[in-house]
Every structure is written in structure tokens, then in C-alpha cells.
A and B are shown apart, each in its own frame.
Chain A
């Protein structure tokens, strides 16, 4: 039973390029969350998605960042025109159906580390 799969594990981009991070949730999970972790800091919520819907994007920067979770395929976090400040670890998490069956636990992937040169 594969866990949450993220790729790539490491991504290097030059300023101005685009970064695409992928996340496949655990089997049977229809809720996906993206978090960003800056060095020596905790995880900061970015966006919460269900299939084909963005439920909460209150943590997403208003510009250059977007996320999707299509009907088929992985969830994608896209960062356009990257800047050095985007360098961070980006974690994806998934959970099964929402209330009343949800126990509250999120299952995390191993993260994708983005380095912007």
C-alpha cells in the first residue's frame, strides 16, 4: 500500500523558470493538501483540494502559485517565474473522506525540495 508519492524529490530552477511539483495521494484518499516548509521553520498551509476543486487556497501567494487536482492524475503545484524566496521544501499530504469518517490525521509525502539559483 503505497503512501503519498511526491516527485521530484529535488528540483533546481533558475530565477524566472517554472517549477512543477507532483503529488499522488494514498489510494482511496480524495483530499490533498500542500504545505511549504522554509528552512528551520514549521510547515505552512498553502492549499487544500479535492478532485477538480480547490476548497481552500488561503495560504497560497496570490501571484505565481497555482494548484490543481484533476479528475485523473496527480495533484500539481505550479510556481511560475520562480524567485530565490521560493526555495523551500514543499510537502503534500492526503486524507480519506471528510467527516464523519475522518480521524483528522494527514498522511504526508517525503516532500519536494526546490532550490532556486
Chain B
């Protein structure tokens, strides 16, 4: 079974600074996806960034980037130039990659990030 661990229940950062959210996972699979989802107070789950395990290059989406360490099974999210609108719960998630998957996405418990003005 796959498990996803987020060891930081809460974090805060000053506006415009950089913050890193940690995520580790446990799997015996070799092909999989990793995701970071954001859940603002509106509760909508919004995809922030996606990484495919077979790609060595770390994914980047504007101010969001990941540090993917496959051997260590670590997948941290770095938010640069933090903005007030980044305040939200952040969930790390894992999904097996086709063809040996069933679309069962496993989530960590989340990290509550607060960006302070």
C-alpha cells in the first residue's frame, strides 16, 4: 500500500519570502505520479504542480517548484515570493501510473500554510 506523509501540520511565512513544504511517501512502484494540491478556505481542491516519477527534472510552475528525490522518496514543494493568496491547506498526493493503476490517489494529511503580510 502507498502512504503519504506530511510531517508539518502548520507553517507560516512572511509575504514575498520563500517556504518549503515537506512530503515523503512509501511505495514499491517504479512508475507513479506525485502531486501537490492546494485547498483554500473555499475548499476547492486546486492542482498546484505534478511530477512524473520517471522524469528526473524537477517540475516548475511559475513560483512553485518541487524537489523530487526518488531514491529518498521525498517530494517537497517550494513556494517563492509568497503571496497572501497562497494561504491554504496544501496536500501532497501519490498515484500509480498506467498501466498498473486504478486512479486511486493517496493524500497526505496536509500542511496548513499561512502567509503573513
Contacts and interface: CB of A to CB of B under 8 A. Distances in A.
Dominant secondary structure at the B interface: loop
Given A42-B109, A104-B97, A110 B103 contact: no
Interface string A50-75: 00000110110000000000000000
B39 to A, nearest CB: 9
A55 B102 contact: yes
Nearest to B106: A45
Contacts of B99: 99-100
Interface in B25-47: 33, 35, 37, 42-47
A105 B50 contact: yes
Nearest to B51: A104
Nearest to A99: B98
Nearest to A45: B104
Interface residues of A, number: 30
B84 to A, nearest CB: 21
Nearest to B43: A111
Contacts of B97: 104
B65 to A, nearest CB: 18
A98 interface: yes
Nearest to B46: A108
Contact size class for B? 20 to 34
Interface in B79-101: 91, 95, 97-99, 101
Contacts of B91: 42-43
A110 B44 contact: yes
Contacts of A93: 45, 105
Contacts of B102: 48, 55-56
Contact of A100 (B45, B47, B98, B108): B98
A36 B32 CA distance: 23
B107 interface: yes
12 contacts: A33-B104, A42-B4, A42-B109, A44-B107, A56-B104, A93-B105, A99-B101, A104-B35, A104-B95, A108-B45, A108-B46, A110-B43
